[in-house]
Amino acid sequence: MRHLVLLIAIATLSLQSCNSSQAKDNDEQSDIKKTAVVESPVQDPVGQSGSVKLTKDVFLKQVWDYQSSPREWVYKGDKPALIDFYADWCGPCKIASPILDEISKEYSGKIYVYKIDTQVERELASVFGISGIPAFLYIPVDGKPVMMSGIARSKEDTKKMFIDNIEKYLLASK
């Protein structure tokens, strides 16, 4: 029994995520910083742009129009993509964000790295059944996307997790 409790504790610590029920109250939500929304997925050619924040309208035009094809995944992008579902109040999301900005620069021209604020874009979060954050959707150009959630124990392990998943799910030759 002690071994089982220890195993559960280790598993819990190995991946960190926030449950959506951990959201702060509405007063704190009103203090969320407003950020500019980039209307194009095109990464800065020099690799300086970082992650691109998506709205529902941009998502429908450039990722998947789930209103026109709700039962069939049809990716509209020309490169693989990684979408970070996050919220400003989420601790693990705050850890993942700068790592994903680094990743977007390192993989500039090879993949798109998008961000969706689940507190602002509730419909998009609902479409994917997001109940815990951070959640990450890996979208290959061809084939079905893969959803994962949580981050690793350290920043280094989290970056390695992203790189391994990008290489496995987005860039692996078929």
Q: Encoding tokens for residue 110? A: 């090879």
Give me the pLDDT at residue 19, please.
65
**CA–CA separation, 124 vs 67, rounded Å?**
11
**CA–CA separation, 107 vs 113, rounded Å?**
9
**Model's pTM, two decimal places?**
0.76
Higher pLDDT, 148 or 48: 148
Give me the pLDDT at residue 45, please.
35
Q: Encoding tokens for residue 85? A: 């579902």
**CA–CA separation, 97 vs 136, rounded Å?**
11
Is the four-CA dihedral 54, 60, 64, 70 of positive or negative sign?
A: positive
Q: Encoding tokens for residue 115? A: 């961000």
Q: What are phi and psi of 133, to 5 degrees?
A: -130, 155
Instruction: Please check the confidence at residue 158 and state whether its pLDDT lies above 80.
Output: yes
- % of the chain residues with pLDDT over 90: 69
Tens of pLDDT, residue by residue over 47-94, are 445 889 999 999 999 999 999 999 999 999 999 999 999 999 999 999
The CATH number of 46-170 is which of 3.40.30.10, 3.10.20.30, 3.40.50.12780, 3.40.250.10?
3.40.30.10
Tens of pLDDT, residue by residue over 20-49, are 444 433 333 333 232 333 334 443 333 445
DSSP string, 20-35: GGGPPPHHHHTTPPP-
115 exposed, middle or buried (CB, 10 Å; 0-12, 13-18, 19+)?
buried
Q: What are phi and psi of 132, to 5 degrees?
A: -135, 145
Residue extents of the structural domains in the chain? 46-170
Give me the pLDDT at residue 21, please.
42
**Which residues are CB-contacts of 95 (< 8 A; sequence separation ≥ 6)?**
16, 151, 155, 158
Taking only Cα atoms into account, the Rg of the chain, rounded to an integer number of angstroms, comes to 16
Q: pLDDT averaged over the chain? A: 80
Active site residues: 90, 93
101 exposed, middle or buried (CB, 10 Å; 0-12, 13-18, 19+)?
middle
Contact call for residues 51 and 105 (beta carbons, < 8 A): no
